[in-house]
């Protein structure tokens, strides 16, 4: 599976020819989601792949590199998509809807990576941690700036921008859990229904 941002399906890990490192990351992501990063060992990952633990180190340095690869790829997918939308010459409400739709798309196609991003980001180290925090802050600022523009143009109700931001992002960040527990909806249905609920309260 090639590790890339799929422009058509928003999948971080596409169904193309995969390297051994990418296989390791994919298997580890599922284990991290099930047990949490701290509870998973390299031996656990090796057993899941039916190989010797020592063989993993021929392809990857350790758990930290796995986590960094997983989280930073999905964080970059969010960042690249939202930066493009934020710079568009369209109405704030249109851009806000697009931001929400992109978040749903990426979450729908990458639930294991989203779980790691939400639950295990604090285990990142050094520059990887700093890079992630910077991307997360920029992502939130993109939402915040569009919400404020929408209020100024009277496309969004004159409410506290931080409350609107919190309401939207809280819903989107827990979407991967809800969608799995309730039985996965088709992504187009999910987007239509969720957009209606999130936007109706602020316009």
**What is the model's pLDDT at position 17?**
53
184 occurs within a structural domain: yes
The answer to whether position 44 is within a domain reads no
pLDDT of 27: 93
In a domain, 105, yes or no: yes
Give the domain CATH number at 89.
Answer: 1.10.357.10
Q: What is the pLDDT of residue 8?
A: 39
**Maximum pairwise Cα distance, the chain:** 61
Structural domain contains residue 77: yes
**Looking at the 3D structure of the chain, how many domains does it have?**
1
Q: What is the pLDDT of residue 183?
A: 64
Q: What is the spatial distance between Cα 79 and Cα 91, in angstroms, rounded to a whole number?
A: 20
113 close to 29: Cβ distance less than 8 angstroms: yes
Between the alpha carbon of residue 170 and those of residues 173, 175, 176, the distances in Å are 5, 9, 12
At residue 187, the pLDDT reads 79
In tens digits, the chain (203 residues) has pLDDT values of 333 333 434 566 554 457 888 889 999 999 999 999 999 999 999 999 999 988 899 999 999 999 999 999 999 999 999 999 999 999 999 999 999 999 999 998 888 999 999 999 999 999 999 999 999 999 999 999 999 999 999 999 888 999 999 999 999 998 888 877 766 667 788 888 888 888 987 88
Residue 78 counted as domain residue: yes
Instruction: Look up the domain containing 84 and give its range.
Output: 63-200
Q: pTM for this one?
A: 0.83
Nearest one of 181, 3, 35 to 119, comparing CA atoms: 35
Assigned domain for 68 exists: yes
Structural domain includes residue 58: no
């Amino acid at each position: 599976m090639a590790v890339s941002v799929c422009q058509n399906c928003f999948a971080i890990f596409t169904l193309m020819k995969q390297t051994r490192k990418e296989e390791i990351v994919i298997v580890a992501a599922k284990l991290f989601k099930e047990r949490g990063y701290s509870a998973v060992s390299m031996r656990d990952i090796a057993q899941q792949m039916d190989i010797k633990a020592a063989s993993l180190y021929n392809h990857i340095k350790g758990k930290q590199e796995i986590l960094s690869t997983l989280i930073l790829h999905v964080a970059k997918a969010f960042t690249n998509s939202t930066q493009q939308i934020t710079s568009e010459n369209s109405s704030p409400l249109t851009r806000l809807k697009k931001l929400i739709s992109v978040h749903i798309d990426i979450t729908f196609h990458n639930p294991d990576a989203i779980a790691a991003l939400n639950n295990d980001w604090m285990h990142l180290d050094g520059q990887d941690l700093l890079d992630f925090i910077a991307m997360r802050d920029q992502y939130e600022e993109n939402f915040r700036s569009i919400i404020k523009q929408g209020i100024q143009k009277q496309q969004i109700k004159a409410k506290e921008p931080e409350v609107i931001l919190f309401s939207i992002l809280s819903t989107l960040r827990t979407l991967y859990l809800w969608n799995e527990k309730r039985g996965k909806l088709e992504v187009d249905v999910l987007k239509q229904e969720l957009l209606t609920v999130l936007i109706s309260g602020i316009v």
